[in-house]
């Protein structure tokens, strides 16, 4: 029986489906949910002088926070409609998978429920998979929500 489920979300349609499924599972288990939005830390990726001249940290931060608000509100609304307690978390990290694993530990979650695009072959190798990296690095069990094809 799960007591606390972490549901990372990026606001994509696939991620929204995982949010719905994770919240439904939480309802069935009597668990609480933490919805997580990982904000990319682009400042850590900027190297050239030209990029630094055009980069506006304040505007980027404002835009990222607005995106996080919208995505996390979706999870809160679904949880409220289902009668599930839902907290939200947002972190900025250059590594999405590390942020997910860390939040699961920090929030003492006993399950991570997340989406996967299910890329195979060369696309999976080249693009990588945050879900795969979470599976490899997490001590907390991970439930992967795959799209219905």
- At residue 9, the pLDDT reads 95
Q: What is the mean pLDDT of residues 71-75?
A: 98
φ and ψ at residue 9, rounded to 5 degrees: -145, 145
- At residue 127, the pLDDT reads 45
Q: What is the mean pLDDT of residues 61-85?
A: 95
Question: What is the rounded distance in angstroms from the CA atom of residue 134 to the CA atom of residue 145?
Answer: 13
pLDDT in tens, 103-124: 999 999 999 999 987 656 555 5
pLDDT in tens, 6-61: 999 999 999 999 999 999 999 999 999 999 999 977 665 555 545 555 556 777 78
**What pTM does this model have?**
0.86
- At residue 102, the pLDDT reads 98
The burial of 47, by beta-carbon neighbours within 10 Å (0-12 exposed, 13-18 middle, 19 or more buried), is given as exposed
The burial of 93, by beta-carbon neighbours within 10 Å (0-12 exposed, 13-18 middle, 19 or more buried), is given as middle
User: Which residues have CB under 8 Å from 63's CB, separation 6+?
Assistant: none
Structure tokens at 42: 């682009």
Contact status, residue 11 vs residue 65, Cβ threshold 8 Å: no
Name the more confident of 116 and 141.
141
Structure tokens at 126: 């080249």
Residue whose C-alpha is closest to residue 31's, from 76, 86, 72:
86
């Amino acid at each position: 029986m799960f007591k606390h489920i972490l549901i990372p979300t990026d606001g994509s349609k696939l991620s929204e489906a995982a949010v719905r499924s994770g919240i439904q599972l939480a309802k069935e288990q009597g668990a609480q949910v933490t919805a997580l939005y990982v904000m990319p830390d682009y400042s850590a990726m900027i190297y050239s002088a030209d990029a630094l001249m055009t980069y506006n940290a304040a505007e980027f931060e404002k835009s990222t926070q607005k995106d996080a608000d919208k995505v996390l509100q979706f999870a809160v609304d679904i949880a409220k409609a289902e009668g599930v307690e839902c907290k939200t978390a947002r972190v900025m990290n250059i590594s999405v998978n590390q942020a997910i694993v860390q939040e699961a530990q920090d929030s003492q979650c006993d399950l991570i429920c997340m989406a996967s695009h299910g890329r195979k072959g060369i696309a999976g190798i080249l693009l990588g998979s945050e879900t795969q990296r979470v599976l490899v690095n997490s001590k907390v069990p991970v439930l992967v929500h795959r799209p219905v094809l």
